[in-house]
């Protein structure tokens, strides 16, 4: 997705702390059917699926990660999105089994671009990246990634896929379709350096066999230490995902070109499975691991 890939430059600038541009509600937990139907001056709570890990590092912000602990998958996490009168995101809250993270534009830095929002707490310790659904051609889902502890010695890395899940009975039972979109993730390399990774994603679905071929391509990684952007084809993912009859959720094994291995899981979104998205987690030896989320539309 061109708009998502184009944010790489802005991420790099934000990580160097120079910024990239600009940055009263009621609560709505039900009653909306798509992201395009969410009105201004509204807070919405959207259920999702997330993967998370915790890590420890040295005392300096440039010190490498020295240990990681997998925190598993949360299938009932919630993301709260608050929009102002112009429809701009002004508050983001992510609640998982491992705690709640909140960013508020009145005190924190919000960077809005055509395809995504990036947010930093005022102390630069916690960072999140969330895709703008409608800007990227989605209407029933979105996805994102977060990293905490950027200026301390420990933190959490997570990613989520959220949206309006398809009723299992409405998932097609015959035919095939291609879904295209993007992916974003957090990568810790074998030396302990941390990166944000942006990719394109593709799902080729066979509804008759309930099988999904999932791949990512054109992966690019931005260092959270140097903000240098590098092409990383070794982080491209592939795998086969499957689901049972009458279900809206799928899962399966995935691996990278560089032989990191693990799993991916997700949901069909929209009244007739127009979209599909999910999360993934793959690991190697030591601290090396790549965790992220993806969204696609047919």
User: What does the pLDDT read at residue 45?
Assistant: 94
Q: Please give the average per-residue pLDDT across 58-75, as a whole number.
A: 90
Of the ranges 135-144, 157-166, 222-231, which one carries the lowest mean pLDDT score?
A: 222-231
Burial class (CB in 10 A: 0-12, 13-18, 19+), 258: middle
What's the pTM? 0.91
Which tokens go with 9? 């430059």
User: What does the pLDDT read at residue 1?
Assistant: 54
CB-based burial, 265-298: b 16+ in 10 Å, e otherwise: bbbbbbeebbbbbbbbbbbbeebbbbbbbbbbbe
Q: Which helix (H) or strand (E) holds 12?
A: helix 2-15
Q: Please give the average per-residue pLDDT across 191-196, as a whole number.
A: 92
User: What does the pLDDT read at residue 10?
Assistant: 54
Q: Please give the average per-residue pLDDT across 199-209, as a whole number.
A: 97
pLDDT in tens, 117-131: 889 999 989 999 999
User: What does the pLDDT read at residue 33?
Assistant: 85
User: What does the pLDDT read at residue 29?
Assistant: 47
Q: Please give the average per-residue pLDDT across 57-74, as a whole number.
A: 90
| DSSP E strands, the chain | 26-28, 42-57, 65-83, 89-96, 99-104, 109-112, 116-120, 127-131, 141-147, 154-163, 176-188, 194-206, 211-223, 229-231, 237-242, 249-256, 261-269, 275-283, 289-297
pLDDT(269) > 70: yes
Of the ranges 12-26, 186-200, 230-244, 276-290, which one carries the lowest mean pLDDT score?
A: 12-26
- Sign of the CA dihedral running 143, 102, 248, 265: positive
Q: Please give the average per-residue pLDDT across 230-239, as a whole number.
A: 97
* Position with higher pLDDT, 200 vs 225: 200
pLDDT(14) > 60: no
* Position with higher pLDDT, 113 vs 130: 130
Q: Please give the average per-residue pLDDT across 137-150, as a whole number.
A: 94
Of the ranges 33-37, 66-70, 98-102, 202-206, which one carries the lowest mean pLDDT score?
A: 33-37
pLDDT(239) > 90: yes
- Least Cα distance to 142 among 226, 14, 27, 266 occurs for 266
Q: Please give the average per-residue pLDDT across 233-261, as a whole number.
A: 97
User: What does the pLDDT read at residue 7?
Assistant: 52
Residue 281: helix, strand or coil by DSSP? strand
CA distance 176 to 171: 12
- Least Cα distance to 111 among 97, 133, 128 occurs for 128
Domain 2-297 has CATH 2.40.160.90: yes
Query: Residue 2: pLDDT band by 50, 70, 90 thresholds?
Result: low
Residue 41 φ/ψ, nearest 5 degrees: 55, 50
Query: Residue 246: pLDDT band by 50, 70, 90 thresholds?
Result: very high
Q: Please give the average per-residue pLDDT across 193-222, as a whole number.
A: 96
User: What does the pLDDT read at residue 3?
Assistant: 52
- Least Cα distance to 222 among 119, 135, 134, 129 occurs for 129
pLDDT(220) > 80: yes
* Percentage of residues of the chain with pLDDT beyond 90: 76
pLDDT(297) > 60: yes
User: What does the pLDDT read at residue 173?
Assistant: 97
């Amino acid at each position: 997705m061109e708009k998502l890939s184009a944010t790489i430059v802005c991420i790099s600038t934000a990580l160097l702390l120079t910024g990239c541009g600009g940055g009263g509600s009621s609560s709505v937990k039900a009653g909306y059917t798509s992201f395009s139907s969410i009105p201004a001056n509204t807070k919405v709570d959207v259920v999702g699926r997330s993967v998370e890990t915790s890590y420890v590092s040295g005392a300096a912000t440039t010190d490498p990660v020295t240990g990681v602990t997998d925190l598993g998958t949360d299938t009932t996490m919630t993301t709260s999105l608050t929009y102002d009168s112009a429809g701009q995101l002004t508050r983001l809250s992510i609640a998982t089994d491992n705690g709640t993270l909140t960013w508020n534009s009145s005190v924190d830095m919000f960077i809005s671009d055509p395809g995504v929002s990036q947010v930093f707490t005022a102390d630069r310790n916690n960072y999140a990246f969330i895709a703008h659904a409608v800007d990227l051609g989605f209407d029933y889902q979105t996805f994102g990634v977060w990293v905490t502890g950027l200026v301390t010695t420990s933190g959490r890395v997570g990613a989520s896929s959220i949206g309006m899940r398809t009723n299992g009975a409405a998932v097609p039972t015959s035919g095939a379709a291609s879904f295209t979109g993007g992916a974003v993730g957090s990568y810790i390399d074998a030396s302990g350096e941390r990166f944000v990774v942006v990719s394109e994603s593709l799902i080729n679905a066979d509804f008759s066999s309930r099988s999904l071929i999932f791949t990512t391509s054109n992966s690019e990684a931005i260092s959270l230490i140097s903000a240098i952007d590098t092409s990383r084809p070794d982080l491209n993912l592939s795998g086969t995902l499957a689901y049972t009859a009458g279900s809206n959720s799928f899962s399966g094994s995935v691996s990278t070109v560089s032989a990191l291995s693990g799993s991916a899981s997700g949901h069909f979104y929209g009244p007739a499975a127009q979209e599909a998205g999910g999360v993934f987690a793959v690991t190697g030896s030591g601290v090396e691991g790549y965790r992220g989320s993806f969204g696609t539309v047919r």
